[in-house]
Structure 1
Amino acid sequence: MPQLNPSPWLFIMIMSWFTFSLIFQPKTLSFISTNLPINKAPMTTKNHPWTWPWS
């Protein structure tokens, strides 16, 4: 079965990951995000007890 022979496909896979890691990833990480995170005060919620009619 030729699918189990990793000789051509292993090299192609490794080279494609190196290309992604060295060329494309730094270019995509250099973009500035348009929605920067804002430090907001956490909102506190009030818990209202449930009045059960049978208790």
Structure 2
Amino acid sequence: MPQLNPNPWFFIMLTSWLTFSLIIQPKLLSFVSMNPPSSKPPITPSTTPWTWPWT
């Protein structure tokens, strides 16, 4: 069964994984996030109840 032969596919998988891990991932992680998380507490808006004219 040729599907079980890991000879060509294991090398391709290993090469692509190492390429991603060693080259692409550090380049992607070096970008600064445009919207960094902040430590400010969330602001809850103050709401007033609606007065219905027919009640």
TM beyond 0.5: yes
CA-to-aligned-CA distance 1:13-55 (integer Å, 9 cap, x gap)? 00100000111000000001000111122568xxxxxxxxxxx
Of all paired residues, the percent bearing the same amino acid is 68
Which residue does the alignment assign to 2:23? Answer: 23
5+ residue gaps in structure 2?
45-55
CA RMSD of aligned residues (A): 1.4
Q: Report the count of equivalent residues.
A: 44
**TM, length-normalised to structure 2:** 0.71
Distance in 2 (alpha carbons) for counterparts of 1:16 and 1:3? 19
Query: 4+ residue stretches of structure 1 with deviation over 4 A?
Result: none
